[in-house]
Amino acid sequence: MRLTPCQAVLSAAIGLNLLFLLLYWQWAPAPPAPPRRGVPGITVLLREFEPWDNDVPGTARAFSPPAPVAVVTETVLYPPLPLPPGVTVLPVRPVPERPPPLAHPERHVRTRHVALVPDGTRALPGLLERMRDALEDGGGGRDARLAAAPVGTEPLRCLELSLEARGWTVRCGTGMLPPGCPGLCQAVEGSAVLLLHRDLFALPFPLARPVATALFIQAAFRGWKVRVVPGGVPGIPPPSLVPHQQWKAGSGLESRRRRLMRELGIKREVLPDGRERWYGCGKDTARCFGTIHAGTPQYLLSGRWTPPCCLRALRETTRHVVSVLEAAGIRYWLEGGSLLGAVRLRDIIPWDYDVDLGIYKEDVGKCRWLAAAAAGEAVEDAEGFLWEKASEGEFYRVHYSRSNRLHVDLWPFYSRGGVMTKETWLGHRQDVEFPERFLQPRVPLEFAGLTAMAPNSARESELKFGAGAIEKPEYPNPSVKRMGGGMRGGGGESWDTKGWDGESQDTKGLG
């Protein structure tokens, strides 16, 4: 069989292609693929320092060599620093012209262990290896995932961290070393070198600042413990700062802490001495959540309850409104879900987003702020609370402030044939008429840190929400988000609110 010229050319082309592919497979370099588990060794990361006043060059020289050292910074180092040869700079903030350097941190940190070293620390021969061995010896079980060694002469203090993710809260207290696990803590207080496996980079915010706070909170979410290694690491004393530098350092720390807590979903931090730090909304900010749809706040769909800062603002608004109504002689009472919360908890229901009070319609004119709102004027009182007529119908709202629209709703009722009714019905399941005898007389009831007036029978709650509503809590719209039956919600949700947001709560009913 003879080959035509066309067939011969085609055969030659196929042969050449096969030859080129064979040569490429044999000689082309394989793409770099860092080992998943890392190579033996410890990489030192310098993260906690001020760009305008630091000892980063001295700290880097103290550890490099033999340990690989990387300086982690938000952007390029400025002012420029005279870093020793071989020290890597890792800017973590992404820029448009290139991908984030730490999108794949394993490409930059190849060792099995990582040590986060504070600025000004000096190396102690064999310390990092001793910390690694203490972490890997199995003492404390699989929960010991970090090792800590103090910097300087002050010993570290063991702390307990209690995380209430549903309550947006972290509590910190002085801890005790668990029996049988000497040196094992949930967190530590004091300047420390922190060493952990490269699973650092599996955390959502591996190099967030403040470094120790970020690591301990994320570790607590996962049940990780800290092994405290005895002995101290040398460190140089921090430089003396002029007042402007002190202000700059303090404001920078506060800004970083607030950003970290926002990323971690923390609105309230309780310190070991009982003081509190708040990171949520306030009088001059918007509230923490947006418009409510289908009676279900967005935070409920995220598995959380009302942020504690919002509950605090609602309590403050309620106290103010009640004092104004009582001073004006307006007959009011706890209404709707607020009455249910008072009977059940003596407080706001922990997933509620407003407070409801009923008032007698004929009393509206007794209060100057309500009278102005009834005339269509939104007025701000001397305490900064905003009174206005609601756009949805014939009722009134008192907002925490012009900026923060957490509010108390005031519902004007009037008696018609011995039955309390009103002009506006919004279709809520608690929107029902009720006998006026429930208000004759009204009775005092503890609610949200004050004594408010309430109907004389808990039956009104069952009339509005159904039989068993007090003992069987449920979310506002079960068709969107359901808690489950009984005092323990289905789907793993617990309804227990003890210590929910720092307010004392009594779960007894009216009795």
Closest C-alpha among 382, 380, 376 to residue 403: 380
Identify the helix (H) or strand (E) that includes residue 212.
helix 211-221
Q: How far apart are CA 343 and CA 457, in angstroms?
A: 10
Among 125-129, 288-292, 502-506, whose mean pLDDT is lowest? 502-506
State both tokens at 30: 């394989």
What's the alpha-carbon Rg for the chain, to the nearest Å? 32
pLDDT of residue 492: 41
CA of 265: how far to CAs of 27, 290, 301, 313, in Å?
Answer: 51, 16, 14, 19
Of the candidates 78, 108, 73, 76, the residue with the CA atom closest to the CA atom of residue 92: 73
Per-residue model confidence (pLDDT) at position 31: 46
Question: Residue 358: is its pLDDT beyond 80?
Answer: yes
Q: Of the candidates 450, 365, 448, which has an alpha carbon nearest to the alpha carbon of residue 406?
A: 448
Contact 124, 152 (CB under 8 A): no
Predicted confidence (pLDDT) per residue in 319-332, tens digit = 999 999 999 999 99
Token output for 178: 């668990």
Q: What is the mean pLDDT of residues 31-36?
A: 43
- Whether 113 and 195 have beta carbons less than 8 Å apart is answered as yes
Cβ distance 469 to 461 under 8 Å? yes
Range with the largest mean pLDDT of 31-35, 218-222, 324-328: 324-328
pLDDT class for 22, splitting at 50, 70, 90?
low
Average pLDDT over residues 278-294: 95
Cβ within 8 Å of residue 132, ≥6 positions away? 42, 113, 147, 195
The pLDDT score that the predictor gives to residue 489 is: 38
Question: Which range (19-28, 58-67, 253-262, 323-332) has the least confidence?
Answer: 19-28
pLDDT at 231: 82
pLDDT of 138 over the 80 cut: no
Choice among 55-64, 191-200, 298-307, 458-467 with the minimum mean pLDDT: 458-467
Does the pLDDT value for residue 27 go beyond 60?
A: no
Token pair for residue 41?
């060794």
Kindly report the pTM of this predicted structure.
Answer: 0.83
What is the dihedral sign for C-alpha 112, 116, 122, 127?
Answer: negative
Which range is least confidently modeled, 13-22, 35-44, 138-147, 160-169? 13-22
> CA-CA distance, 408 to 397, in Å (whole number)?
6
Alpha helices in 295-438 (DSSP H): 298-301, 308-328, 336-345, 368-374
What HEC string does 141-158 produce?
Answer: HHHEEEEEEEECCCCCEE
More confident residue, 12 or 308: 308
The per-residue pLDDT for range 410-465, each reduced to its tens digit, is: 999 999 999 999 999 887 777 889 999 999 999 999 999 999 999 998 777 777 78
Q: Is omega for the bond preceding 5 within 30 degrees of 0, making it cis? A: no
- At residue 26, the pLDDT reads 54
- C-beta separation of 197 from 128 below 8 A: no
Greater pLDDT, 432 or 278: 278
Task: Give the pLDDT score at 502.
Answer: 46
Phi first, then psi, for residue 129 (nearest 5°) are -65, -40
| Mean pLDDT taken over the chain | 86
pLDDT at 107: 74
N- to C-terminal Cα separation, the chain: 108
